[in-house]
Amino acid sequence: MEDLRLYINTLRHDFSKQTLNEKDVDASPILQFEKWFKEAVDAHVNEPNAMTVSTATKAGKPSARILLLRNFNESGFVFYTNYTSRKGLEIGQNPYCALLFFWPELERQIRIEGILEKQTAEESDIYFNTRPRGSKLGAWTSEQSKVIESRDILEHEFQKLSENFQGENIPRPANWGGFTLKPVSIEFWQGRPSRLHDRILYTQENSNWKIERLAP
């Protein structure tokens, strides 16, 4: 490609699949999320539970990465990580977090903002016990976000732990577990023609949710 920058500037896609009206959405953003999530599954979206998780340091320096949503209900949205990873340390400094789901097959995205709370050890144990053996060993093997000299060191440690835990139930490492994002705002975005997208915002007010339309 001769001029990649020119190519980027000319990329265009006009959205036209569906509409989103504030009169038609559920009064609960959690139920609206469930409705859209089911539609993403039915549309065979690739990994519909993949989401961008954005955290920040105490000073406000942001970082983002893709994680997998593992549960959601009226209490919030759940993911799991190493507590001593970069994101885990940032959450310890600053519990504010943003999640982003993007489903291009449906021309939709969902933005969720709120405060993270660490799950109880019992809650994290329940999920950890459902993981494949390799994933359990991986949680023990990796000092996530730390500098390592080579992949060989990682694979050697994995093999050693595999042998040590041979024939045994693998417990959850103390530095690994879940967070629940308690939402304070949730925005549903539906692509529309001419960049006049539909944006419906839910904002928490006491125990209720206010529903408003945003300019695209």
134 is a domain residue: yes
7 is a domain residue: no
Contacts of 100 (CB under 8 A, 6+ apart): 51, 52, 54, 109, 110, 111, 112
Look at residue 112 in the predicted model and tell me its pLDDT.
Answer: 98
4 is a domain residue: no
Looking at the structure, do residues 91 and 189 belong to the same domain, yes or no? yes
Looking at the structure, do residues 98 and 190 belong to the same domain, yes or no? yes
Boundaries of domain holding 201 = 12-126+176-214
Look at residue 9 in the predicted model and tell me its pLDDT.
Answer: 83
The question of whether 5 is a catalytic residue gets the answer no
Tens digit of each residue's pLDDT (9 = 90 or more) over 39-74: 999 999 999 999 999 999 999 999 999 999 999 999
Looking at the structure, do residues 76 and 145 belong to the same domain, yes or no? no
Quote the distance between the C-alpha of residue 93 and its chain's center.
19
Looking at the structure, do residues 163 and 83 belong to the same domain, yes or no? no
Looking at the structure, do residues 92 and 62 belong to the same domain, yes or no? yes
Query: What is the Cα–Cα distance from 30 to 122, expressed in whole angstroms?
Result: 24
List the alpha helices (DSSP H) in 142-182.
151-164
32 is a domain residue: yes
Looking at the structure, do residues 38 and 95 belong to the same domain, yes or no? yes
Query: What amino acid occupies position 205?
Result: E
Instruction: Note down pLDDT in tens along the chain; length 216 residues.
Output: 668 888 888 887 878 889 999 999 999 999 999 999 999 999 999 999 999 999 999 999 999 999 999 999 999 999 999 999 999 999 999 999 999 999 999 999 999 999 999 999 999 999 999 999 999 999 999 999 999 999 999 999 999 999 999 989 999 999 999 999 999 999 999 999 999 999 999 999 988 999 999 999
Looking at the structure, do residues 204 and 100 belong to the same domain, yes or no? yes
Q: Which residue among 172, 195, 199, 213 is the active-site one? A: 195
Task: Please state the domain count of the chain.
Answer: 2
1 is a domain residue: no
Looking at the structure, do residues 32 and 104 belong to the same domain, yes or no? yes
Looking at the structure, do residues 29 and 107 belong to the same domain, yes or no? yes
CATH number at 45 reads: 2.30.110.10
Looking at the structure, do residues 160 and 86 belong to the same domain, yes or no? no
Look at residue 207 in the predicted model and tell me its pLDDT.
Answer: 87
Looking at the structure, do residues 90 and 51 belong to the same domain, yes or no? yes
Query: What is the Cα–Cα distance from 191 to 106, expressed in whole angstroms?
Result: 8
Residue pair 170/157 in contact by the 8 Å Cβ criterion:
no
- At residue 21, the 3 state secondary structure works out as coil
Look at residue 1 in the predicted model and tell me its pLDDT.
Answer: 60
Look at residue 37 in the predicted model and tell me its pLDDT.
Answer: 98
Query: What is the Cα–Cα distance from 159 to 214, expressed in whole angstroms?
Result: 53
Query: What is the Cα–Cα distance from 181 to 77, expressed in whole angstroms?
Result: 5
Looking at the structure, do residues 54 and 156 belong to the same domain, yes or no? no
3 is a domain residue: no
Tens digit of each residue's pLDDT (9 = 90 or more) over 128-143: 999 999 999 999 999 9
